[in-house]
A = this chain, B = another copy of it.
């Protein structure tokens, strides 16, 4: 916890048990990255997210959204209209994560055949 075993060298990319873990735990759950990725092109409504992220339950979407809003990665805007409308959008902080999500997605696409082939054995 006090963590950050001072690795003397120049800023090491990744110290095992410290700050990285702290944040990584938060974004590497099953849905967070998917939600962030879904918002890459702009704000989306609750229902739209539900349709975009195939397989997520209403409950998990609600919870994940809440966590991401708490972390400040996305913002929630409720419009006081007759059919209630709520939009979720990436914050500036959230946007800084986008390149990584994209990169991850591209990596996934690029190597999934290889991975699947490996798994098949």
Contact among B4, B13, B26, B109 with A54 in the assembled complex (CB-CB below 8 Å): B4
Contacts of A112 in B (CB 8 A): 19, 22-23
Residues B115 and A71 in contact, CB atoms below 8 Å apart: yes
Interface mask (A90-121 → B, CB under 8 Å = 1, otherwise 0): 00010011001111111111011011111100
Taking the full assembly, how many copies of this chain does it contain?
2
Nearest CB in chain B: distance from A79 CB, A = 23
Nearest CB in chain B: distance from A30 CB, A = 7
Instruction: List 16 extra interface pairs beyond A3-B54, A23-B111, A100-B104, CB under 8 A.
Output: A11-B109, A14-B37, A14-B102, A17-B53, A17-B54, A20-B37, A20-B105, A21-B54, A21-B55, A22-B116, A23-B107, A28-B29, A72-B114, A72-B119, A93-B114, A96-B107
- 7 CB contacts below 8 A, A to B, read A11-B109, A14-B105, A16-B34, A17-B54, A24-B108, A25-B30, A96-B111
